[in-house]
Amino acid sequence: MLAKYLFIILCLIPGLGIILALIGFVTYIVIMQSIGLNNLFGEDEFTIKFWDKIFARKSYNRSVRYSLYIGTFSTIFSILIAYPIALWLRKPFRGSLFISSILKAPLLVHGLVAAFLFLNVIEYHGLVNQLLQYLNFTDQPIRMRNDRNAFGVLFLQTWKNMPFALLLLAGALQSISDDTLDAARDLGASLYRRFIDIIIPLTISAMTAAAIIIFIGAFADFTFQKIAGPRNTFSLSQLMVEYRGRGKWNEAATVGVTLIVLSFFGAVLVAFIINKLFKYPGWLSPVKMKNIKSIITRQK
């Protein structure tokens, strides 16, 4: 029995072993450096002063909130847009393969390229401004780049991640048989109820997987933020690179640990919320609209 397990472990080592080792080393180093150990320069000394310093900085707290904002809304928008498209493409029709391919094209475009393309569209003399002026909506071009609310980053994140959500959701939706949906319809379920009671619960695994991956990617965004994000706020990745650039490796490590921890707990929270809200049909769900309403009323 032991030999069998040993054999399996040996087989996994070349692939999974390397991945785990690399993740493990990086996580170990970043955690140690955040508490003053394994320093690249100077003496090692256990301390929590870097954490104290970073928690006291407004820029850090702003970055945490900003990255959570980008991660959460990019996830929501990507999935909200991907669902109806996946439903529309569920049954093949003439041209559906072409449409599907076009929609998935952003997966093949590098984030940096996408960001520069986007800038060309929203720049001071970009296509959108030219169109707005042509239609006489404005006399002067409007500044849309690096907007305070990071709508540009959200747009880019959604544009980049929606095809990924679409890929997962389309596969899950296609695995639902017509008979299952017809049975629900036959039993009196309207279009909305079929979506809530059958389609969402049966695609919840795909939705959760898409949400977790999109959340982690968008939460740790660097490229879109650097090019199209607001100038007065850094994302956590940007902050980490900023500290590293100034030679503050230990502060950079604390931000790195923050990214790892919040990515993990954020992903767990995303999965938890999705499962709580959508795993069961409306009438079985432990979270009911009337409960939510009563909580909101109580808070008011």
Partner 1 sequence: MSILKVKNLFKSYGKIEVLKNFSLDIDSTEFVSLLGPSGCGKTTVLKIISGFISPDKGTVFIEDIDVSNTPPEKRNTAMCFQSYALFPHLTVEDNIKFGLYEKKIPKNKSKDLFEEAIEHLSLSQELGKYPNELSGGQQQRVALGRALVTRPKIILFDEPLSNLDAILRGTVRNEIKRIQSEFKLTAIYVTHDQSEALSISDRVLLMKEGEINQIDTPEKIYDNPISYFSASFVGISNIHHFKNPKKLENNFIEVDTNVGKLKLFYKNNLTDKNIYVSWRPEKAEVGEQRENTLFGRIKSIAFQGAFTELEVAIKNIKIKIITQKRGFKINEEIKFGIKPENLLVLEQS
The verdict on 52 binding partner 1 (CB under 8 A) reads no
**CB nearer partner 1, residue 104 or residue 193:** 193
Q: Which stretch binds partner 1 (CB under 8 A): 29-37, 152-160, 193-201, 246-254?
A: 193-201
**CB nearer partner 1, residue 160 or residue 194:** 194
Minimal distance in Å, beta carbon 164 to partner 1? 24
**CB nearer partner 1, residue 107 or residue 183:** 183
Q: Give a three-class secondary structure readout of 105-148.
A: HHHHCCHHHHHHHHHHHHCCCCHHHHHHHHCCCCCCCCCCCCCC
The H or E element containing residue 161 is helix 151-174
**CB nearer partner 1, residue 134 or residue 283:** 283
Look up residue 185 and give its two tokens.
């319809």
The H or E element containing residue 50 is helix 49-56
Which of 274, 286, 280 has its CA nearest to residue 209?
Answer: 274
Q: Which residues in the chain belong to E strands, given as ranges?
A: none
Residues 213, 232: Cα–Cα separation, whole Å: 27
Contact with partner 1 (CB under 8 A) among 96, 120, 174, 190: 190
The verdict on 275 binding partner 1 (CB under 8 A) reads no
Q: Which residues in 163-261 belong to E strands, given as ranges?
A: none
**CB nearer partner 1, residue 139 or residue 186:** 186
Asked if residues 155 and 117 have their Cβ atoms less than 8 Å apart, the reply is no
The verdict on 172 binding partner 1 (CB under 8 A) reads no
The verdict on 184 binding partner 1 (CB under 8 A) reads yes
The verdict on 251 binding partner 1 (CB under 8 A) reads no
Q: Which parts of this chain interact with partner 1 (CB under 8 A)?
A: 177, 179-180, 182-190, 193, 197-198, 201-202, 279-281, 283-284
